[in-house]
Amino acid sequence: MNETRSLPRRLAALALHPATAILGLAAVVVAGQLLGEGFWVTLAARAAILALAALSLSFVLGQGGLVGFGHAAPFGLGAYAVLIAGEHGIRDILALLPLAFLAGAAFALPTGALALRTRGVYFIMITLAFAQMAYFVFAAMSGLGGDDGMGIAGSATLLGWKFLRSESNLAWLAIGLLAAASLFLHAATRARFGFVLRAARDAEARTAALGYSVFRTRLVAWALSAGIAGLAGALMAEQTGFVSPALMSWHRSGELIVMVVLGGARRLSGAVVGAILVVLVEEFLGQTTEYWKLGLGLLILAVVMARVVDFGSLLRRRADG
Q: What residues make contact with another protein under the rule CB under 8 A?
A: 67, 114-115, 117-122, 125-126, 128-130, 132-133, 136-137, 139-142, 250, 254, 257-258, 261-262, 265, 291, 293-294, 296-301, 303-305, 307-309
DSSP for residue 200: H
The least CB distance from residue 131 to another protein, in Å, is 9
Q: Which of residues 32 and 264 has its CB atom nearest to another protein in the complex? A: 264
The least CB distance from residue 66 to another protein, in Å, is 12
Q: Which of residues 111 and 269 has its CB atom nearest to another protein in the complex? A: 111
Q: Which of residues 87 and 147 has its CB atom nearest to another protein in the complex? A: 147
Contact 130, 115 (CB under 8 A): yes
CA dist., res. 110 & res. 118, Å (int): 14
Residue 1: what residue type? M
Listed in sequence order, the residues at least 6 apart from 199 whose beta carbon sits closer than 8 Å to its beta carbon are 206, 207, 210, 212
Q: Which of residues 89 and 143 has its CB atom nearest to another protein in the complex? A: 143
DSSP 167-181: HHHHHHHHHHHHHHH
The least CB distance from residue 142 to another protein, in Å, is 6
The least CB distance from residue 80 to another protein, in Å, is 15
- The separation between the first and the last C-alpha atoms of the chain, rounded to the nearest angstrom, is 44
Q: Which of residues 137 and 183 has its CB atom nearest to another protein in the complex? A: 137
SS in 3 state form for 101-169?
Answer: HHHHHHHHHHHHHHHCCCCHHHHHHHHHHHHHHHHHHHHHCHHHCHHHCEECCCCCEECCECHHHCHHH
The neighbour count for residue 106, using CB atoms within 10 Å, is 17
Q: Which of residues 128 and 226 has its CB atom nearest to another protein in the complex? A: 128
The least CB distance from residue 86 to another protein, in Å, is 22
The least CB distance from residue 300 to another protein, in Å, is 4
Q: Which of residues 95 and 305 has its CB atom nearest to another protein in the complex? A: 305
Closest C-alpha among 270, 238, 256, 240 to residue 169: 238
